[in-house]
Amino acid sequence: MRVLSGIQPTGRFHWGNYFGAIRQYIDLQDSGQSYYFIANLHALTTVREPNLLRQNTLDAALDLLALGLDPQRAILFVQSDVPEVTELTWLLMSITPMGLLERCVSYKDKVSKGLAADAGLFTYPVLMSADILIYDSDIVPVGADQIQHIEVARDIAGSFNHLFGGTFVLPKSKVLESSAKVPGTDGEKMSKSYSNTIEIFEEPKAMRKKIMRITTDSRPMEQPKENYAEDHLYQLYSLFVDDTRREEMAALYLRGGFGYGQVKTALADAAENYFADARAKRADLAANPKRVEEILGDGASRARKKASEVLARAKKACGVTR
């Protein structure tokens, strides 16, 4: 079984990215051959500063490795290091109906807001299909917002197979269970677009400051808070602690007589402790950029081996190989 997923280097990863996606990629790295890549070509549809894109790409690699992605067990690479994928994109584009892409939400949303969309954004799902199909991927773990794109990949693979004979494996999405759940500092879904994020490797001091600014209600301290499970501060705390400590916190909410400041301090301590090992590992890796380049280089050459095999199969099937 082949597992594949990509993540865009559009900024520093936050708690939502970790609990909603990254942690689960790492858990899946032992189920068959897994491929994880940093989708810098997709990021180019939004990041227009070369140095920032370069920095984000390196940061993404450091973050993933520090958080437990193991290059011995998974293939980690940068999307653009496998140029075969853009070549396959053209073959797929040639048989992709406009209507299929017009229905995709990222494009549709932008146009419905009256914003001008680039061809890159419009054809984004075709590049994503090539990412998936070029490694004969069986399972694609993604957040709920990406399911539509996996369906596009299946559609395109099905049409290609129908036109030119069996070439591609039909991929299946695996929806990550806690996706769309992690709340931000304002209680809305944590997202870069809402400026309510707490980054995984934020400086401890800055992280504490952000935690102290998490919004809370204005009920008096002594009042018991029965609906603790709906409180985003409680929800965030729950991500970092075991059942016992979670139940203790629930009991405190039910009893009342505490200040939210106390919960925030507990959250800051728990989060700092949770990521302490990863933070140390990240610092080691950051001090050794050669090692990181080696890992990415090795990942790219392993990925290219598979990609060139599948690309050759596709070119032969559709008649561009003489």
> What are the residues binding ligand TRP (CB under 6 A)?
4-8, 39, 42, 128, 131-132, 140, 142, 146
- Binding residue for ligand ADP, selected from 16, 71, 125, 187, defined by CB under 6 A: 16
Judged by beta carbon distances under 5 to 8 A according to partner kind, the member of ligand ADP, ligand TRP, none in contact with residue 17 is: ligand ADP
Q: For ligand ADP, which is the closer residue by CB, 16 or 187?
A: 16
Please give the structure tokens belonging to residue 182: 């992690």
For residue 190, which amino acid is it?
A: M
Segment holding 280, helix H or strand E: helix 276-286
Q: For ligand ADP, which is the closer residue by CB, 182 or 214?
A: 182
**For residues 262 and 234, is the Cβ–Cβ distance under 8 A?**
no
Q: For ligand ADP, which is the closer residue by CB, 6 or 167?
A: 6
Please give the structure tokens belonging to residue 105: 């939400």
Active-site residue flag, 189: yes
Judged by beta carbon distances under 5 to 8 A according to partner kind, the member of ligand TRP, ligand ADP, none in contact with residue 6 is: ligand TRP
Q: What is the x/- site pattern for ligand ADP, positions 17-46, by CB under 6 A?
A: x--xx-------------------------
Q: What is the x/- site pattern for ligand ADP, positions 152-191, by CB under 6 A?
A: ---------------------------xxxx------xxx
Cβ–Cβ contacts within 10 Å for residue 66, how many? 21
Segment holding 59, helix H or strand E: helix 50-66
- In whole angstroms, what is the distance from residue 100 CA to residue 25 CA? 28
Nearest to 44 by CA among 102, 148, 109, 121: 121
Q: For ligand ADP, which is the closer residue by CB, 53 or 93?
A: 53
Active-site residue flag, 192: yes
- In whole angstroms, what is the distance from residue 152 CA to residue 126 CA? 8
* Residue with tokens 């809402």, as numbered in its chain: 194
If DSSP codes are grouped into helix, strand and coil, which group holds residue 78?
strand
Which residues participate in catalysis according to the annotation? 110, 189, 192
Residues that bind ligand ADP (CB under 6 A): 7-8, 10, 16-17, 20-21, 142-143, 145, 179-182, 189-193
